[in-house]
Amino acid sequence: MSVAPPRPMPVPMTVVTGFLGSGKTTLIANLLRRPELSRTAVIINEFGEIGLDHELIESSEEDLVELSTGCLCCVMRGDLTNAVRRLMDKRAEGRGFERIVLETTGLADPAPIVHAAIADPALRALVRLDRVAVTVDALTALTSLDAHEESRSQVAQADVLLITKTDLGDDDVGALLERTARINPDAAMHFPVRGEIEPAVIIGGNSRSTGPFETGSERAPQGEGNSGNYGLTLRRSEGSSRRALPDHHGHHHHHGHGPDEITSVSLRLETPIPAVALTLFLQALAETMGPDLLRLKGIVEVAEAPDTPAVVHGVRHVFHPMRWLDDWPGGSRDSRLVLIGKRISGPWVRALLETITEEVAEASGQ
Amino acid sequence: MTPARFRTLVEGALEIWRVEATASFAEGKAHCGIALKNEPVVEISVEAQPFGTVWRLSEPGRRDRVHPAIGPALRSLREILCPDRPAGRVLFVREGTE
B75 touches chain A (CB under 8 A): yes
Beta-carbon separation of B95 and A194 below 8 A:
yes
Beta-carbon separation of B96 and A313 below 8 A:
yes
Phi and psi at residue B53, in whole multiples of 5°?
-80, 140
Contact B55, B43 (CB under 8 A): no
Q: Minimal Cα distance from B9: which residue of A? A: A348
Beta-carbon separation of A313 and B98 below 8 A:
yes
Q: Minimal Cα distance from A196: which residue of B? A: B97
Model confidence at A76, in pLDDT bands (50, 70, 90)? Answer: low
Taking the whole predicted model, whether its pTM rises above 0.90 is answered as no
pLDDT, mean over chain A? 75
B48 touches chain A (CB under 8 A): no
A338 touches chain B (CB under 8 A): no
A22 touches chain B (CB under 8 A): yes
Cα B97 to chain center, whole Å? 34
A351 closest CB neighbour out of B8, B85, B92: B8
C-alpha torsion A275→A278→A284→A290, nearest 10: -120
B13 closest CB neighbour out of A288, A321, A356: A288
Cα A284 to chain center, whole Å? 26
Model confidence at A6, in pLDDT bands (50, 70, 90)? Answer: low
Model confidence at A42, in pLDDT bands (50, 70, 90)? Answer: confident
User: Which helix (DSSP H) or strand (DSSP E) does residue A89 occupy?
Assistant: helix A77-92
A282 touches chain B (CB under 8 A): yes
Beta-carbon separation of A286 and B90 below 8 A:
yes
Say what the ipTM of the complex is. Answer: 0.93
Query: Of A64-73, A235-244, A305-314, B11-20, where does mean pLDDT reach its minimum?
Result: A235-244
Contact A221, A180 (CB under 8 A): yes
Beta-carbon separation of A347 and B15 below 8 A:
no
The Cα angle at residue A360 between residues A359 and A364, in degrees rounded to 5 = 115
Nearest to A131 by CA among A206, A63, A64: A206
B79 touches chain A (CB under 8 A): no
Q: What is the pLDDT along chain B (98 residues), one digit of tens a residue?
A: 999 999 999 999 999 999 999 999 999 999 999 999 999 999 999 999 888 899 999 999 999 999 999 999 999 999 999 998 877 777 766 554 44
Tens digits of residue pLDDT in A208-229: 433 222 222 333 333 332 222 2
- Beta strands (DSSP E) in chain A are 11-18, 40-45, 64-67, 99-103, 127-137, 160-164, 188-190, 213-214, 235-236, 262-269, 293-300, 310-315, 318-319, 323-324, 335-342
What pLDDT does A231 receive?
24
What pLDDT does A176 receive?
92
Average pLDDT in the A353-364 region? 92
End-to-end CA distance of chain B: 36
Tens digits of residue pLDDT in A81-110: 888 888 888 777 776 788 889 988 888 888
Nearest to A84 by CA among A92, A105, A158: A92
Q: What is the nearest CA distance from A252 to chain B, expressed in angstroms?
A: 25
Tens digits of residue pLDDT in A170-199: 667 889 999 998 888 878 899 998 888 888
With a cut of 90, say whether residue A250 has pLDDT above it. no
Question: CA of A253: how far to CAs of A39, A248, A257, A318, in Å?
Answer: 34, 11, 9, 26
Nearest to A223 by CA among A187, A182, A194, A189: A182
